[in-house]
Amino acid sequence: MTPCRFQRCLKAGMQVESVRIETTEKSKKRANEFTDEQVNKKFCVSPIVEKIKQLELKTQEEADYNENESSMLPGSLNEIFAFPESMDAFRTKIVYRVRLHAVTEEELNFCKFRTLAYATDYIRAISELNLIQMDFMDQIKLLRHSYGPLTIFNMAVGSIKTTRDRSLLCLPTGITISKHESVVTNRLVKG
């Protein structure tokens, strides 16, 4: 049996350090985890940032509405903005968590209206905080153009904060959808 190259080098007089390749631990390429407090310290606080923080808190306020208290669904976007209380049944606490159960169509429909209530509250709060003055039709136009991106962004952030599993999408009503699960498609905002 012939000795390995390493042993032959040592017999020839080489030092172990010069023969053995040092293995350095490669750090995992992961984003650093920061707390909300650390992130807030890095950014300058301006009046507009403070207003947006207030806006976010206001739209995520927990309401004590029973999701089954109203069987009347708003008929149009005009009705939603004219009568915001028509969405009260859908103003529940926003909760992102991993729940590995089959998602029902009823849960998805409730989530659809919960995200719509969040978006309309956000747009109405923009006017109330005097960030931008908007009339009724401007609010509807803003909802039509921002609802999708706002909802997708919020769900992505909520999912990332909740789980590291990339195959799961956490919804703001506490339900989780796996990428392998078949989902009923719904059109979220009607014209």
Q: Does 51 map to a domain?
A: no
Instruction: Tell whether 91 is covered by a domain.
Output: yes
Helix spans in the chain (H): 5-11, 16-19, 36-42, 47-59, 77-82, 105-128, 136-162
Q: Which of 90, 79, 71 lies closest to 143 in space, CA to CA?
A: 79
- If you average pLDDT over every residue of the chain, what do you get? 76
CA distances from 138 to 86, 117, 127, 169, 189 (A): 20, 17, 11, 31, 16
Q: For residue 79, give both structure tokens.
A: 């009705």
Helix (H, G, I), strand (E, B) or coil at 95: strand
Tell whether 86 is covered by a domain.
yes
Instruction: Check if the beta carbon of residue 169 is closer than 8 Å to that of residue 176.
Output: yes
Between residues 67 and 119, which one has the greater pLDDT? 119
For residue 8, is it within any domain? no
Range of the domain at 129: 69-191
The answer to whether position 61 is within a domain reads no
**Percent share of the chain, pLDDT over 90:** 18
With 0.85 as the threshold, say if the pTM is over it. no
pLDDT tens-digit readout, 67-106: 445 556 777 888 888 888 888 888 888 889 998 888 888 8
Compute the chain's Rg from CA coordinates.
Answer: 26
More confident residue, 66 or 44: 44
Q: Is residue 152 part of a domain?
A: yes
Count of domains observed in the chain: 1
Backbone conformation region of residue 174, classed left if phi is above 0, alpha if psi is from -120 to 50, else beta: left
Residue 121 predicted with pLDDT over 80: yes
| 163 located within any domain | yes
Torsion of CA 105, 100, 180, 154, to 10 degrees: 70
